[in-house]
Chains A and B, each alone.
Chain A
Amino acid sequence: MEALRRPSTIAFFVLLAIAAVMPLALGQAKFPQWLEVALGGLLTGVLYSLVAIGLVLIFKASGVFNFAQGSMVLFAALTLVRLAEKMPLALAIVVTLLVMIALAWAIERWVLRPLVNQDGIVLFMATLGIAYFLDGFGQAVWGSDIYTLHVGMPKEPKIILESVFDGGVLVDMEDFVAAIIAAVLVAALTLFFQKTSTGRALRAVADDHQAAQSIGIPLNRIWVIVWSVAGLVALVAGIVWGSKLGVQFSLSQVALKALPVVILGGFTSIPGAIVGGLLIGLGEKLSEVYLGPFFGGGIEAWFAYVLALVFLLFRPEGLFGEKIIDRV
């Protein structure tokens, strides 16, 4: 991880660490309480990462910023919750996955294939269209009520470290399970991308369509694969978010939080999406609780975007992104 050794990266993390422990140093907070807030923030950050990973996957493999990732999360969650009413949950998950693969195939066939070799911005506009279509189509088919999704996630918060601190630290078990799921997903995706020839082909397609074709990489099949994987990630995010917040239209808006996450972490880096999510989750919770009182609250709503703005100014490739070198 060469990016980690860059002085600006180190400076950023040092500043961040100082800012994070500030409330402790100033005596504003006691350690167990601070730890509780920090953990809560990190775990929420994992949920942001889940959506961000989907964005990064498609960006890596097709150079497209997929505006529809949030809509895919909503669509997957809606499909799953309505199917689960009619069949066992496990079966519903499998069927939903098949639906997402069919969706990937349809997107490749009718949206991407006619746009081969077009600029990134053209493909981005196409994903805007996909987003609106999916939002409308999903709700037309499955209904637009708020549905509750029960997948057996533990709902009860748990108190840990009771023996260490007085009163212990409260942890949301649902977020904790989500974090484990995310970790497994990331491990699997990393293996897939770095160690398989299909993964290599995906990265190749991301860099240059024409060259990839000339060495015999089947562009169409690669796109179906990558959108299917993004569909799988959307389904996982949909399950986790849906079970936490209920399946409703606002799920498609979680993608808006994933945008600052990928700006922070770098558009091309899966570890970046994780770290970015964690940093933003942690940052917004800590600043809400400890800075909020001075500003009248509401920091959580804009913290991520301001941080992203700072990154766009000083480090547009993000923490882990490939440094952008354009030869003219």
Chain B
Amino acid sequence: MNLRELEPGTADRELGATILAVEGVSLAFGGVKALTDVSFEVREGEIRAIIGPNGAGKSSMLNVINGVYRPHAGKISFRGETRTHMDPRHSAKLGIARTFQSLALFKGMSVLDNILAGRSLMMKSNLLLQALRLGPALREEIEHRKRVEEIIDFLEIPHVRKTPVGRLPYGLQKRVDLGRALAAEPRVLLLDEPMAGMNMEEKQDMSRFILDVNEEFGTTIVLIEHDMGVVMDLSDRVVVLDYGRKIADGTPEEVRASQAVIDAYLGVKH
């Protein structure tokens, strides 16, 4: 399923300027070091993968980027603004959206409402006007609904738009999660194992969506994934973490050839 090869001209793309950078980030939970002095940067418009064995600190890294965790050392720069830590609401305002490894959807709400909720930050009109569906509030609602319907069509889930998300099969829930993140029209999309637990067909669909998002909307994507095939196909550049340290950084080919990476994945004789 080499999707890159199916679409000529995308394999060697020009990368934009740095949009997101982490510098010397360290994070510990009690005595457990989750991240140690990790630095890397993400360029505008690229698909950047973070890989590594279990417990390497990949999810922690995403959580630092969108502000769920506060790193003990280091800096995060986003669109030219440098800070020591983020917070989830602020990072959402700046244009960082994310999906979750274990689904974190609003299970009782319909697909439509879940994705609409993704536009929370863009809802401007007054509460009373909204409740009564008056004037500007109605216009705003229609505009949001239009954008949400586009996302629903894009993700090919129009048939379930009114279904409570908790009742959907796993693969579709993952799409709703992506849809909710897309609804915020983010500059950077953080995807935490978007294909975990999927079968081959579902993985292909999801890969296609990710590539389309990247190409059609120009959204920069930071992606954690376990499936090596997927990572190598999708990403422009790859960061490899092991025990919370960065052990390699480069194009898929470079990373695949790196001895440190091979050792981390296959183990070394002592």
Determine the distance from Cα of A191 to Cα of B113 in the docked complex, in whole angstroms. Answer: 15
Q: Is the CB of A192 within 8 A of B131?
A: yes
Q: Check: B68 CB closer than 8 A to any chain A CB.
A: yes
Beta-carbon contacts under 8 Å, B43-80 to A: 66, 68
With most chain B CB atoms within 10 A of its CB, the pick from A211, A215, A218, A268 is: A215
The 10 closest A-B pairs by CB, nearest first: A216-B92, A211-B104, A197-B123, A207-B106, A213-B88, A216-B121, A196-B130, A191-B131, A208-B104, A204-B117
User: Total contacts A to B, CB within 8 angstroms?
Assistant: 96
Q: Check: A256 CB closer than 8 A to any chain B CB.
A: no
What size tier do the contact residues of chain B reach?
A: 35 or more
Q: Is the CB of A211 within 8 A of B108?
A: no
Q: Is the interface of A mostly helix, strand, loop or mixed?
A: helix
Q: Mark B157-184, 1 if CB is under 8 A from A, else 0.
A: 0000000101100100000000011011
Q: Mark A168-202, 1 if CB is under 8 A from B, else 0.
A: 00000000000000000000100110011110110
With A195-B131, A200-B109 already in contact, 18 other A-B pairs whose C-beta atoms are closer than 8 Å:
A196-B130, A197-B120, A203-B106, A203-B108, A203-B109, A204-B109, A204-B120, A208-B107, A210-B100, A212-B117, A213-B88, A214-B97, A214-B98, A214-B100, A215-B92, A215-B97, A215-B184, A216-B92
Q: Is the CB of B120 within 8 A of A322?
A: no
Determine the distance from Cα of A219 to Cα of B75 in the docked complex, in whole angstroms. Answer: 25
Instruction: Give me the interface of A with B, judged by CB distance under 8 Å.
Output: 188, 191-192, 195-198, 200-201, 203-204, 206-208, 210-218, 268, 322, 325, 327
Determine the distance from Cα of A130 to Cα of B183 in the docked complex, in whole angstroms. Answer: 38
Q: List 19 A-B contacts (CB under 8 A).
A: A191-B131, A191-B132, A196-B127, A197-B116, A197-B120, A197-B123, A198-B130, A201-B117, A203-B106, A207-B109, A211-B100, A211-B180, A214-B68, A215-B118, A215-B120, A215-B184, A216-B93, A217-B117, A322-B107
Q: Mark B109-131, 1 if CB is under 8 A from A, else 0.
A: 10001101110110100010011
Answer whether A214 and B93 are a contact pair too, CB < 8 Å, given A198-B127, A208-B106. Answer: no
Q: CB-nearest residue of chain B relative to A321?
A: B108
Instruction: Give me the interface of B with A, judged by CB distance under 8 Å.
Output: 66, 68, 88-89, 92-93, 97-98, 100, 104-109, 113-114, 116-118, 120-121, 123, 127, 130-133, 164, 166-167, 170, 180-181, 183-184
